[in-house]
Structure 1
Amino acid sequence: MERIRLGSTGLKVSPFSFGTMTLGQPVNEKTSLELLDLVSDSGVNFIDTSNSYNAGHSEEIVGQWMDARNNREQIVLATKVRYPVGNDPETIGLTPKVLIRELENSLRRLKTEYVDIYYLHQPDDDTPIEVTWRALESQVNAGKIRYIGLSNFAAWQIVDALYLSRSRGWTPPTVTQALYNAISRAADTELLPMARTFDLGTCLYNPLAGGLLTGKYRWEKPTSGTRFANDANYRQRYWDERQQCAADAFSQIARDGGADCRTGTAVHAGSRQR
């Protein structure tokens, strides 16, 4: 698989990253490890996880896999902080205490001394960005973070962080992550143009709208055992008449053109990763 430049980081990554939100639950550990083998053997070298995914279990599986395969140096590894780990309220937010402690916990679970990309998973309105960034800088200087990423931040918030970090001589954010697919294209308006202007690596998630764009769903109710049946957040995000109609239309266009809507959508989204 080809490698592409991830913004100004110098990292060369596969056009697709492997998201691990379902590793451990609902995907069991054995199958999770098999999936990691499959994507690695297919040429994917970019793995995305978070401390909040399955209360840290997803990170543990990734760490177990890298340790068993002895391939940490071949993997571009990204994880995140902000959301709760399980039901622990002390893991929420972007205060220095939470950030530094949760980074240590992530490194322990991942069995590594550093992460390539450490994302702030979402803004924290209760903590000034300057306070968060000072903590990030300390961890960059300690060698535990190679690059800083911002996930689910608005364009203006990313620019604010860029100017703050540059004015203080701190490490700036170099990667951003946003929701993007054929029926959810808000990032086109400001985020993607901003990322091009500042040469930020851009990673996109939900390229198939949580599976909605696969064409497998019928709208009476979600199919049992699927993400939409099990996850209220995804139903709230996509399960409405407007998006269902758009997904139907998209699937029909793909069928009329003799294309696989799953591959086409994912390739289009992957091409936006720079």
Structure 2
Amino acid sequence: MEIAPCIHNILTDLQHATGVTNTYLIVGSEGAAFVDAGWDRPGEAEARIAYWEKLGKPALKGIAVTHRHPPHWGNAPAIQRACGNPPIIATFTEKPEIDARMQGATVDRPVRDGETLSLGSLTLEFVEAPGHTYGSMAVFIRETRALFTGDNVMGTGSSVVNPGEGEISLYLQTLDKFLRYEPAVIYPGQGPVVTNPRSKLEGLIRHHAEREQQIVSLMAKAPCSIEQLFAAIYPDIREGVRHLARNQIRSHLIKLEKEGRVVAAGDVYRLSAR
């Protein structure tokens, strides 16, 4: 459906336990581009291709993949084959991660911060946005100041930063970077459109500062294991997301270790004596 002038979000009626990832189609006067491609599940690629055909098959200039996770590139090979062989676009950092998993295609155009793609009336700027993953990318429409954030910003709640795939410190730097773009609207990787970007971004920064302080305050009382921190911080969290919550604690501890504020002894963490 068209959710704003020139911007479409292609969601299917298919119900899956793994959830829904937004697939945006941006249409300018001289072409179009996808931002993310959705899960590679039965009927998903066909729905996206059919929607593009319904719009009159505008010249597809690119398929921008915001990061390495499968729901963001899953249908990219099928869309590429059916829609005139447009380049699949991602950052240099994400290219090897995506290429290793994606079958039938590769990232054709790796990009660096500030590179652009013209759709005629609209200019897409590719923004390096490490955090959720090391090579995450956002897409910024210069003319309308619309920001497509991938999973660095969710429509509801906060993003997940898994150890080994991204870092909290980089994530916070990216949120500050997004603020400097002064977006008029945010189109997130999952969930509804964010119509008050500054409030959302500042809220995410504040949330992570509060979570970090919560961890530090608990360790100020006594050294803690991740399980002890988890029990204190997330007493009522549902079973299906407990592993994600533990990973957020690990990611915060990695940040604090790098800053010299926390020392690990096996599975137990304590505040440094500095």
Name the TM-score class by shorter chain.
Answer: 0.3 to 0.5
Q: Which has the higher strand share?
A: 2
TM-score w.r.t. the length of structure 2 is 0.33
TM-score w.r.t. the length of structure 1 is 0.33
Higher relative contact order (CA 8 A, sep 6+): 1
